[in-house]
Structure 1
Amino acid sequence: MAWAMLVVAGLLEIGWAIGLKLSGGFSKLWPSVATISVMAGSIFLLGLALKTLPVGTAYAVWTGIGALGTAAVGMAFLGEPVTAGRIAGIALIAGGIAVLKSAG
């Protein structure tokens, strides 16, 4: 159950990272409210997952999911450049997440 909470927390991290962009530096009310709400949910679930998972592993997986997902969403929906280097970086992050999860 802790791993499931951690994955959802990571997915929510993607949401708040994209929300930061869409909120215009917290200058737009509803995108800002949504961003802060998703941030709170992400941190809450990370905290619950940390009750049983090692902090180093959980934090690295959480940030990895957020970085990987945010980069992918940026390229897919926000017009950010799709380059071989960016794809390689995403693949390396995914590999690191897999190694950390299998290690514990």
Structure 2
Amino acid sequence: MNTFENSGKHRQKYDAITRDYYASASKIKENYEAQIDRALEELRRLKERRQAGQKAGEACAKTAEQEVAGRKTVPKNIFAGRGRKRKAPRSTVKSIVRGA
């Protein structure tokens, strides 16, 4: 009884599948090489931004320390820290609708 490795019929089928796979892979690489390169470049930029973001986070911590110490370095955003955008007061909406 033949095993998979020793069977000539299965070996030919396996070789054909392998050959088709590598041919398809090289064709895909040729067709999409520019897009793959762009995606890898974008990934590299995102990694750099993430590292820069950590440095920015450290800077934010320093700003917070200065605010606690009584030295405000940046203008306070009145809506900061609230989870949603604030609606304009109804009177403001009415005046905008009137064209005032």
TM-score range, shorter chain: under 0.3
- Larger helix proportion of the pair: 1
Which protein has the larger Cα radius of gyration, Structure 1 or Structure 2? 2
Tell me: higher relative CO, structure 1 or 2? Use CA pairs within 8 A at least 6 residues apart.
Answer: 1
Using the size of structure 1 for normalisation, the TM-score is 0.25
